[in-house]
Amino acid sequence: MDQFLIEGGKRLYGTVRAQSAKNSVLPLLAACILAEGRVTIREVPPITDVFCMAQILRELGAEVRFEGDCVLVDGSDATEHTVSAVLTKELRSSVFMLGSLLARFRRAAIAYPGGCDIGLRPVDLHLSALAHMGVKTQERDGYIVCTCDDLRGADIGLDFPSVGATENVILAAVLAKGETVLSGAAREPEIVDLQNFLNAMGARVRGAGTDTVVIEGVKRLHGVEYTPVKDRIEAGTYLIACAATGGEIEVEGVEPAHLGFLFHKLRENSCKIHIKNDKIRITSAGRLRCNRKIETMPFPGFPTDLQAQTVALNAAAEGCALIVENLFETRFRYVPELKKMGADIEVNGRSAVVRGQPRLHGASLVCKDLRGGAALVIAALAAEGTSEVVGLAHVDRGYADFEGKLRALGAEVKRVRIR
């Protein structure tokens, strides 16, 4: 087991480049099973979620290999339509295989997905949407078993703009008969990226980024080389880290429009934000004002994946902040760890009241989920003294070389092996 040793109190300076988006790469990998021929995805971050998805594809019969930062996938010989329970429980994004497998084989079996424990995240929306396309679902021995004799286009309305359900419908519909019109769709940039990827393979998808996506089914898709969109959540994490510690950094490669709400909140904290093309520079004096209120919402609202990091930021700011989590019901599981550092945070259901303290102090901390783990690292960077952070398997799911990028910005952090 590894841990981070972090000596807090160091201001951050320098430049960091955003990796390709985890939340884009994973559905793109799931879509590779649909192509006749080889697919090459470039600039793929070496994170454990990517390795897990690659192993899922291999168990389905696809050929997958890594060459530098590229992943090469040839699913032509894939024959299996069941995703093993072991891998499914490691990776929430394995649920994207439902749409791909149904489109490819007209059947799919998948155990209930795992990943971070941040709430129930039921797949009911996925299954009810797919039912409109002729998919029948059974639960059998802990598996969701889906079959369809005739996968056909349909008019589908989502009661909630679920990213996963939107992507599953798109993946199923690209090889279905006829036209699918999906209303109430999620609008996240990663869905636009999936549309662009599929269209480059010969699909006919339009409307991603709006609440209505139209998919005209085609008979086949071909291989492609593709570079995914950059990771707005990783970029936001480094911007928040600089805000918390003080200093000045520049994040390169990310689309500024993907982080508009975060910029507004960081300016409210008294940070300065300067944007030029794909470069975002933040300057922080290190002693901040608390945000009045942050409420997570589907895109283009404030992202739930940056909620924990902003709580850590506000924990050592002046004033009082109200943080409301509207997407996942147990996403404050990291709060007891922040309290070990002297944070004053009161959680009531889906809301947290953060009363900023003059300073936080180092402590022994345990990551409980991916973004909560990032929040603990941010708090440790801003705190006085030394912190030990364990449970890094969660952090490694989404951040490639987290400690190396932070050290390059001047942070005093190292990864050490413990028994």
Q: Which amino acid is at 44?
A: V
Instruction: Please check the confidence at residue 274 and state whether its pLDDT lies above 90.
Output: yes
The whole-number pLDDT of residue 1 equals 84
pLDDT tier, 117 (very low <50, low <70, confident <90, very high otherwise): very low
The whole-number pLDDT of residue 157 equals 97
Tokens standing for 81? 């339509």
Kindly report, residue by residue over 142-151, the tens digit of the pLDDT.
788 999 989 9
Cβ contact 315:322 at 8 Å: no
Name the average pLDDT for the chain. 94
Q: Could you tell me the strand order of the sheet in which 412-417 lies?
A: 364-366, 386-390, 2-7, 412-417
The whole-number pLDDT of residue 55 equals 95
Report the predicted TM-score, pTM, of the whole model to 2 decimal places. 0.95
Give burial (CB, 10 Å; 0-12/13-18/19+) of 362.
Answer: buried
User: From start to end of 105-235, where are the E strands?
Assistant: 107-111, 136-140, 143-147, 155-157, 179-183, 204-206, 212-216, 221-222, 225-226
Complete domains list, the chain, with CATH: 2-19+230-417 (3.65.10.10), 22-226 (3.65.10.10)
Instruction: Please check the confidence at residue 418 and state whether its pLDDT lies above 90.
Output: no
Q: What number of H helices and E strands is found in the chain?
A: 14, 26
Mean pLDDT computed over 76-97: 84
Cβ contact 13:241 at 8 Å: no
Cβ contact 10:409 at 8 Å: no
Which of 32, 52, 70, 116 is catalytic? The answer is 116
What pairs with residue 281 in β-bridges? 250, 274
The whole-number pLDDT of residue 113 equals 63
Kindly report, residue by residue over 215-253, the tens digit of the pLDDT.
999 999 999 999 999 999 999 999 999 999 999 999 999
Mean pLDDT computed over 59-66: 96
CA distances from residue 417 to 318, 370, 379, 388, 392 in whole angstroms, order as listed: 37, 20, 22, 12, 11
The whole-number pLDDT of residue 119 equals 40
CA distances from residue 7 to 11, 383, 407 in whole angstroms, order as listed: 11, 8, 11
Kindly report, residue by residue over 303-344, the tens digit of the pLDDT.
999 999 999 999 999 999 999 999 987 789 999 999 999 999
Tokens standing for 40? 């090459």
CA distances from residue 209 to 24, 128, 213, 217 in whole angstroms, order as listed: 14, 22, 8, 19
Kindly report, residue by residue over 360-377, the tens digit of the pLDDT.
999 999 999 999 999 999
Instruction: Please check the confidence at residue 104 and state whether its pLDDT lies above 90.
Output: yes
The whole-number pLDDT of residue 234 equals 98
Instruction: Please check the confidence at residue 118 and state whether its pLDDT lies above 70.
Output: no
Which has more confidence, 135 or 287?
135
116 annotated active-site? yes
The whole-number pLDDT of residue 122 equals 65
- Give the H or E element holding residue 321: strand 320-324
Instruction: Please check the confidence at residue 419 and state whether its pLDDT lies above 80.
Output: no
Reduced to 3 states, what is the DSSP secondary structure of residue 221? strand
